């Protein structure tokens, strides 16, 4: 686990223009000084991320919001005061401190306050904002432990802060707060139901958006194995069929089938609790990759609470891949 000395060293790396992998409650981030265009450019290079794909700027507290965003609506402030620190990202008008390199050339900025003691200690020691997408190659499974970061990015990261396993396990909810009414651009660790309770009205979750945000590519959060989504009652039959076709089959077994015999190369049991499932989702996908599966059969959970975020990640993981993938 990271020590005070580690955090001070990491802050020095950031001041020198380096990259630091830092823990948050959602996933591990690949952090750079958000005000240093050269450092931000290196984040894109290391991840293989398109430069038009905006980054989330992490700040140390809600009191710093006006340093990074302009014309913040009252609704956005209410959400920030309720959910920060926490897994909520707000899309707002870009403040002067934010270079266009960090926003993918947009005049909006995505900003949040992470809820992790090590991540917050780093932000405090550094004294600025960190542009920090997930610490993995673009489009692949997000890391939820320091070992995941080291295995995927290796020496491309100048310093890795180990804060233990991430508590939430899926990325933050992204809310567009630039229009007349907020809308969810990416489901995540703050549920739609929680947002609606604060807003006092329904919040839209559009399938497409005019605002570019992380996780919108057709294939995202994807393991090396191909992910196939089926109805829960068809998981066993689809796994057997794939096995007969010669595949090394991995199965994410839904709770209703927990005691059923499965014909597959590897099986992970999906927890009944969506919070526990979200925490373990990316670990399950990585495990099935490591066990040599070339196809993963899974079903979607009920799309309420954190189930909406899990379903979003599984759909993206199963999305169409480029020819080279």
Phi/psi at 227 (5° precision)? -100, 130
240: left (phi over 0), alpha (psi -120 to 50) or beta: alpha
Query: Average pLDDT of each block of 10 consecutive residues along the chain (325 residues)?
Result: 96 98 98 98 97 96 97 97 98 97 96 98 98 96 98 97 98 94 96 97 82 64 96 97 97 95 96 98 98 98 97 94 54
pLDDT of residue 325: 45
Strands 249-253 and 226-229: unpaired
pTM: 0.94
State how far the Cα of 186 lies from the Cα of 312, in Å rounded to an integer.
8
pLDDT of residue 216: 62
* Pair 144, 165: CB distance under 8 Å: yes
* Pair 277, 270: CB distance under 8 Å: yes
- In Å, what is the CA distance from 90 to each residue of 76, 186, 260? 7, 11, 43
* Pair 144, 22: CB distance under 8 Å: no
* Pair 175, 183: CB distance under 8 Å: yes
Residue 104 neighbours by CB distance under 10 Å? 19
State how far the Cα of 18 lies from the Cα of 256, in Å rounded to an integer.
47
pLDDT of residue 209: 59
Q: In angstroms, how far apart are the furthest CA atoms of the chain?
A: 59
Is residue 22 helix, strand or coil?
strand
pLDDT of residue 255: 96
Residues contacting 208, CB < 8 A, separation 6+: none
Tokens of 241: 């069929």
In the chain, % helix, strand, coil (3-state, to 5) comes to 35, 20, 45
State how far the Cα of 205 lies from the Cα of 175, in Å rounded to an integer.
9
pLDDT of residue 194: 97
- Residue whose C-alpha is closest to residue 126's, from 262, 35, 29: 35
* Pair 11, 125: CB distance under 8 Å: yes
Q: What is the distance in angstroms between the CA of the first residue and the CA of the last residue of the chain?
A: 34
* Pair 93, 170: CB distance under 8 Å: no
Strands 20-22 and 29-33: antiparallel
Tokens of 249: 């089959």
């Amino acid at each position: 686990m990271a020590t005070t000395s580690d955090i001070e060293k990491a802050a020095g790396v950031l001041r020198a223009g380096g990259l630091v992998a830092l823990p948050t409650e959602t996933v591990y981030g690949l952090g750079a000084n958000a005000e240093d265009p050269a450092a931000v450019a290196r984040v894109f290079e290391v991840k293989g991320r398109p430069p038009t794909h905006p980054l989330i700027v992490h700040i140390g507290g809600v009191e710093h919001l006006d340093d990074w965003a302009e014309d913040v609506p009252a609704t956005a402030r209410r959400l920030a005061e309720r959910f920060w620190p926490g897994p909520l990202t707000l899309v707002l008008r870009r403040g002067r401190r934010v270079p266009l390199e960090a926003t993918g050339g947009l005049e909006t900025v995505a900003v949040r306050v992470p809820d992790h003691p090590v991540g917050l200690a780093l932000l405090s020691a550094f004294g600025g904002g960190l542009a920090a997408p997930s610490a993995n190659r673009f489009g692949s499974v997000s890391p939820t432990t320091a070992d995941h970061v080291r295995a995927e990015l290796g020496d491309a990261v100048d310093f890795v802060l180990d804060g233990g396993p991430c508590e939430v396990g899926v990325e933050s909810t992204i809310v567009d707060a630039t229009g007349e009414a907020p809308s969810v651009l990416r489901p995540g660790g703050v549920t739609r139901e929680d947002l609606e309770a604060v807003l006092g009205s329904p919040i839209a979750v559009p399938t497409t958006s005019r605002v570019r945000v992380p996780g919108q590519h057709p294939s995202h959060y994807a393991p090396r194995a191909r992910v196939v989504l089926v109805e829960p009652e068809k998981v066993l039959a689809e796994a057997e069929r794939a096995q007969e076709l010669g595949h090394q089959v991995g199965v994410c077994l839904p709770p209703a089938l927990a005691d059923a015999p499965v014909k597959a190369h590897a099986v992970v049991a999906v927890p009944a609790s969506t919070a526990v499932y979200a925490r373990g989702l990316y670990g399950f996908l990585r495990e099935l990759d490591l066990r040599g599966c070339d196809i993963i059969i899974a079903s979607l959970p009920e799309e309420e609470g954190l189930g909406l975020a899990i379903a979003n990640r599984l759909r993206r993981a199963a999305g169409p891949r480029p020819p080279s993938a």
